Amino acid sequence: MNPPLTRMYCKLINTATLVLFLSILTACGPIMHSLHKIQSDKRFLKMEKRNFSGEKASTQWWYYDFFFEDGSVLVLLFAPYHWWNNPETGSDPKSLLYISYMEANGEVLSAKKIFDSNQVQYDENSLKCSFLEIIRSNEKKNREYNIRFSMDEFQGSLKIVSDQKAFSPLPVGSLGSFGSKILLKQKGKKISYRYAAHVPQGKVSCELNLKGKKLALRGKAYNEQGWFTGKAEQMCEGWVWFHFVSENINLFGANSFFYLEMNGEIMVGG
């Protein structure tokens, strides 16, 4: 048989199997309630490797929440392509780095950089540019990340160690174009999607330099990575994403799924 045709048939069979699997899960509330228990660490490690070294999508992101013991919060977002409304003009594709730090008293310091996407270098374990470096060292649920950023008077370094295995509302973490069209009702050609919280809950140690003020902080960490070949508005139409965390509770999700952890035990992941 012609090799391209063989690959096409295998792809169709895999997609059909996934659609059937998802349909069964959707009809089985208790299974969906504990979806995380049957998800493969090995699968998510391969998927994350593709996020770093594979083809970049028009709507893609690395997102981090950090909740520190002193009550302050740090948010970091990196997008290989700037898919917000009204991006800065230019002939070359632009990357976006956004960082926001809220002190315990509510004061906020934010910074962003929009720069040529070709300034970023990728391999299967890292992404690097002059403003940002993310290096991963992962084995199953023992995920570790070292992050460094430098934006004018706003610099920092962080070390993250995950407490929980990765989780995705999608059973295997991704959907091809056929599955996206049937299950997510996506319109358009060749729209594919993968998404996972690679660190649903973790520990972080951090050093920040804010306009000459140095801080050493510890707390909780969250990291998700998304990859979507369509436009951002196609992916997020009709849903609201949320994340709440306290001393004993970690909760995140959207209108179609959620993940709840209490006192270190995953209560719902589906």
pLDDT digits 0-9 by tens, 151-186: 988 999 999 999 899 999 888 888 765 555 555 555
By three-state DSSP, how is residue 106 classified? coil
Closest by CA to 223, choosing from 248, 190, 252, is 252
Which region among 12-21, 104-113, 122-131 has the lowest average model confidence (pLDDT)?
12-21
Task: Report residue 15 CA to chain centroid gap.
Answer: 23
Q: Tell me 125's DSSP state.
A: T
For the stretch 16-65, pLDDT in tens is 544 444 444 444 455 567 888 889 999 999 999 999 999 999 899 999 99
Q: What confidence score (pLDDT) does residue 186 get?
A: 54
59, 86, 186, 191 from 237: Cα distances, Å: 14, 19, 10, 15
pLDDT score, position 28: 46
CA distance 184 to 162: 29
The CA dihedral of 23, 28, 32, 35, to the nearest 10 degrees, is -80
Q: What pLDDT does 27 receive?
A: 46
Domains by residue range for the chain, with CATH: 3-235 (2.40.370.10)
pLDDT tens digits along 185-220: 555 567 788 899 999 999 999 999 988 899 999 999
**176-190 burial string, b = 16+ CB within 10 Å, else e?**
bbbbbbbbbebeeee
Most confident region among 25-34, 61-70, 137-146, 252-261 by mean pLDDT = 61-70
pLDDT of residue 218: 97
The answer to whether the CB of 225 falls within 8 A of the CB of 61 is yes
